[in-house]
Homo-oligomer: A and B are copies of this chain.
């Protein structure tokens, strides 16, 4: 019996620098039932080399979307998982193994779209890329040689996801679908405006403070209802800030 669909899981390759890896990644995805491939600023697409390595997965490759930024690639995603070569707890994100992340993806309520984001071959995801992610994923590997090829990393993650999907599990109970990255972005813009309106900054300045808030909310994996509640709170804080304090004249 085929496992349940993984149509809600997107693979995002950020700045892939080898044409062949794009094709091999498409093939790896298809072997495990994945089909939604996005390429952020790839070296070239389409290319003969990618098509050759895609083998029978030229449909996945042909349907790949090309965009200029990570932000565009994940705008409609409610869960964004960034892959890293090793656990990176210093980024304040929860760091999961490939198996744990696959379990998390398999348990998502089905209307939530998710992205697994892979960085460029030599250097992986930048800190800026990681700011778009809510959860980090690492593939356990040989500590003295962790250098998985990009397509092989995609293969392992896609494989874990297929195995996880085959296991019976209880879907997460949520009042509403997870907020998409675009909805979160609007929340952050609102938050930034509110920080300015209310004059609330820390001694290291606004951007740093905003980033900390973003991390907290990203980690919380807010649903759409919660985002609305938070924005209601921000709006009321803004309104209060614009009024003179009560009793003043």
A12 on the interface (CB 8 Å rule)? no
Complex-state Cα separation, A33 to B141, whole angstroms? 7
A93 on the interface (CB 8 Å rule)? no
Chain B residues lying within 8 Å of A24, measured Cβ to Cβ, are 149, 152
Chain B residues lying within 8 Å of A146, measured Cβ to Cβ, are 31
A38 on the interface (CB 8 Å rule)? no
A67 on the interface (CB 8 Å rule)? no
Partner of A141, one of B142, B145, B162: B162
Q: Chain A 66-108, CB within 8 Å of chain B: the 1/0 string?
A: 0000000000000000000000000000000101000000000
Nearest B residue to A154 via CB reads B152
Q: Which residues of A contact B (CB under 8 A)?
A: 2, 24, 27-28, 30-33, 55-57, 97, 99, 139-149, 151-152, 155-156, 159, 162-163, 166
B147 & A163 in contact (Cβ 8 Å cutoff): no
Chain B residues lying within 8 Å of A148, measured Cβ to Cβ, are 28, 31, 155
Chain B residues lying within 8 Å of A27, measured Cβ to Cβ, are 147, 149
Among A30, A57, A145, find the residue whose CB has the most chain B CB atoms closer than 10 A: A145
Chain B residues lying within 8 Å of A97, measured Cβ to Cβ, are 163
A-B contact pairs, 16 of them (CB 8 A): A2-B144, A30-B145, A31-B147, A31-B148, A33-B141, A55-B147, A56-B147, A57-B145, A97-B163, A140-B162, A141-B159, A141-B162, A152-B152, A155-B156, A156-B156, A156-B159
A32 & B163 in contact (Cβ 8 Å cutoff): no
Chain B residues lying within 8 Å of A143, measured Cβ to Cβ, are 2
B33 & A142 in contact (Cβ 8 Å cutoff): yes
A163 & B99 in contact (Cβ 8 Å cutoff): yes
Chain B residues lying within 8 Å of A28, measured Cβ to Cβ, are 148-149, 152
A32 & B141 in contact (Cβ 8 Å cutoff): yes
Complex-state Cα separation, A184 to B143, whole angstroms? 37
Complex-state Cα separation, A30 to B142, whole angstroms? 7
Complex-state Cα separation, A162 to B145, whole angstroms? 13
